[in-house]
Structure 1
């Protein structure tokens, strides 16, 4: 992990959730490393590395992020192979 990785990931979700509309918009072009799914990967990695107290604190934020992300995306039945990396990769955003 790099310095400010958690802050960067949280700010990507903050930006995405501020966008208008019921569903999150998909990027016109896929941008590896800067999608909110990548940010969720970063948060997952941080939670594995943090001590117990910090992990619980971040976990509470991640739970709220997950709930909002799930509410603002739709199931993507064709992405079942991504389920091994994280459930958030099996969701789709509107174009």
Structure 2
């Protein structure tokens, strides 16, 4: 983890959720490390290292992010791959 990891992750979600339309657009070019799924991975990792109070506070924010991400993506009907081995957010699909 690095200083500002939470702020960086939240900024990526803010940018993604600021997109117009019902569903999130997929990037035309895969950008490893820059996709919001990676930002969600970062938040999950941070949660493992926070004290109880901070974990609860960030957890409430993550719950709202998860709700919005789930609302603005679709279930991915395809088979699981290396990327989807992680959190549930990797099994969601965005529009192209």
Q: What is the TM-score when the length of structure 1 is the normalising length? A: 0.96
Where does residue 70 of structure 2 map in the other structure? 70
Partners of 1:43 and 1:72 in 2: CA distance: 19
- Where does structure 1 lack aligned partners over 5 or more consecutive residues? none
Equivalenced residue count is 95
Partners of 1:64 and 1:47 in 2: CA distance: 15
Structure 1 outlier segments of 4+, above 4 Å = none
Secondary structure at 2:39 match in 1: helix
Q: How does 1:25-64 map to 2 (within 5 A)?
A: 25-64=25-64
Whose helix proportion is higher, 1 or 2?
1
- Where does structure 2 lack aligned partners over 5 or more consecutive residues? none
Q: What is the TM-score when the length of structure 2 is the normalising length? A: 0.95
Report the alpha carbon displacement of residue 83 of structure 1 after superposing the two structures with TM.
4.4
Does the CA-based 8 Å contact 1:24-1:72 persist in structure 2? yes
